[in-house]
Structure 1
Amino acid sequence: MAWTSLVLDLLGVFFFAVSGSLLAVRREFDIIGSLLLGTCVGLGGGILRDVILDVGVPRAFDSPIYLVPPVVAATVVYFFAHAVQRFHDLLLTFDAAGMALFSVTGTLVALAAGMNPTASAMLGVVTAVGGGVIRDVVANDVPQIFRARGLYAIPALIGAALTSFTSWADWFGVGTGTAIAALVFALRMVSLRYRWGAPPAGGHHGPTPAPSSV
């Protein structure tokens, strides 16, 4: 299972890194900016998770192989971005794929570190959404997790919870992990297509009334 988790983790890094490089194109960054933004989103969530777990040097720095996907992503976007007409939709697709994979692998890493199922699911969500938040903040964009259009943290939470539960029940395997990631990806994309969203913080969709003066 270790190699499967590594492959899924590297795929997640790649998908997230592509989303970062596409955002760099939209923001008119240079190739170095594209590489740095892709690295931030691809590795950011995992670094946050490893720091919380206090497992020593985060695996993104301990294993040089984790630096390969951002380089590949920046190179691919550099040569093919001119042929892509809808950067935003493609960015959201790669972002959803990275989030789906990280909701699974982040939870597995936390479980392997000895965390309980609930804490592992929480760290799976941190891994899934952390890099995207870092990407959008660095690029001076509104983080996807705070946008009204589409569900973001909720699909990640569902994926992390299912991964944690199936692992606890000893049902987890390659097929199960793939199915969970596919479910998270599909839920995210469908929510974008039909503009699903979580209930507003104020409990209604109208404008918040201004406080009356006393």
Structure 2
Amino acid sequence: MLTDLFTPSVQHSLDLAGIFVFAISGALLAVRKNFDVFGMAVLAEATALGGGLIRDLIIGAVPPAAFTDLGYFITPLVATVIVFFLHPEVERITKAVNAFDAAGLGLFCVAGTVKAHSHGLGLTFAATLGLTTAVGGGVLRDVLAHEVPNLLRWDRDLYAVPAMVGSTMAALLIHYDALNVTTSMISAATAFVLRLLAMRYNWRAPRAWHRRSAATEDPATGSGAV
């Protein structure tokens, strides 16, 4: 497990950092949707903890970590308070927030893969839950906000694919008994860099082959998983 690779304090700090930046994105979406402070808190909590909660319930790690560590619950509320009072300033540093979000994506996809495998899942399903850990909260956020989830929209930069790459790398490292602090961070960094490049160069996943439609494409209903 990652707890065997990092000291408990370092692992806890990494978890809280990822939770915080995911919570910021949830609270910002709530502001854009004109939600009240309670709605902001709900979206922040769902975004930050949703992926890990789904993973823990699937692997039977109950009660989930989100309900056993007060820091995990409080951190999204802190993010909510910051966005509540300073959302114009936070919006102005969206690029920085997106960069931290990419870092959280990388950390969570690796951590989720390793935790799932440590609870007895095969490598394929462990990597799948690593992906779920990284993107599950964002899906819950979008559903609660009545949005088409970003990773299902053709007009969004690659998000799930970088997490998938990081999860797969972690699974392969486990298979070859090569997972350690250095290699786990390389896996997380790979997902992080791929996400940054996708944002920088607007990389998107391909849609259906030979798709022939003269109709104007509607971003809200377009297809294609990213």
Range of TM-score over shorter length = 0.7 to 0.9
Q: Distance in 1 between matches of 2:186 and 2:117?
A: 19
Q: Distance in 2 between matches of 1:16 and 1:85?
A: 14
1:45 paired residue among 51, 74, 93: 51
Q: Distance in 1 between matches of 2:143 and 2:188?
A: 25
TM superposition shift of 1:82 = 2.2
Confirm whether residue 191 of structure 1 aligns to residue 214 of structure 2. no
Q: Distance in 1 between matches of 2:13 and 2:114?
A: 13
- The answer for unaligned runs of 5 or more in structure 2 is 216-226
User: Which has the larger displacement, 42-51 or 146-155?
Assistant: 146-155
CA 1:167 to 1:68, structure 2 compared with 1: closer, same or farther past 3 Å? Answer: farther
Confirm whether residue 58 of structure 1 aligns to residue 99 of structure 2. no
- The answer for unaligned runs of 5 or more in structure 1 is 210-214
Instruction: Tell me the alpha carbon deviations over residues 18-52 of structure 1, each in whole angstroms, 9 at most, x when there is no partner.
Output: 11011112112222221111100111111111111
Instruction: Tell me the alpha carbon deviations over residues 110-142 of structure 1, each in whole angstroms, 9 at most, x when there is no partner.
Output: 122122222111110111111100001111222
TM superposition shift of 1:80 = 2.5
What is the 5 A alignment of 1:1-214? 1-2=2-3, 3=8, 4-86=10-92, 89=95, 92-148=98-154, 149-200=156-207, 202-207=208-213
CA 1:137 to 1:88, structure 2 compared with 1: closer, same or farther past 3 Å? Answer: farther
SS at match of 2:164: helix
TM superposition shift of 1:160 = 0.5
Give me the TM-score of the superposition, normalised by structure 2. 0.82
Q: Distance in 2 between matches of 1:79 and 1:91?
A: 16
Please tell me whether the aligned partners of residues 46 and 127 of structure 1 are also in contact (alpha carbons under 8 angstroms): yes
User: Could you say what the CA RMSD is over the residues aligned between the two structures, in angstroms?
Assistant: 2.2
Code of the aligned partner of 2:118: A
Q: Distance in 2 between matches of 1:142 and 1:94?
A: 23
SS at match of 2:137: helix
Please tell me whether the aligned partners of residues 19 and 94 of structure 1 are also in contact (alpha carbons under 8 angstroms): no
Code of the aligned partner of 1:15: V
Percent identity at matched positions? 42
Equivalent residue pairs, number:
208
Please tell me whether the aligned partners of residues 83 and 90 of structure 2 are also in contact (alpha carbons under 8 angstroms): no
Q: Distance in 2 between matches of 1:139 and 1:95?
A: 19
TM superposition shift of 1:89 = 4.9
Please tell me whether the aligned partners of residues 22 and 87 of structure 1 are also in contact (alpha carbons under 8 angstroms): no
Q: Distance in 2 between matches of 1:131 and 1:85?
A: 20
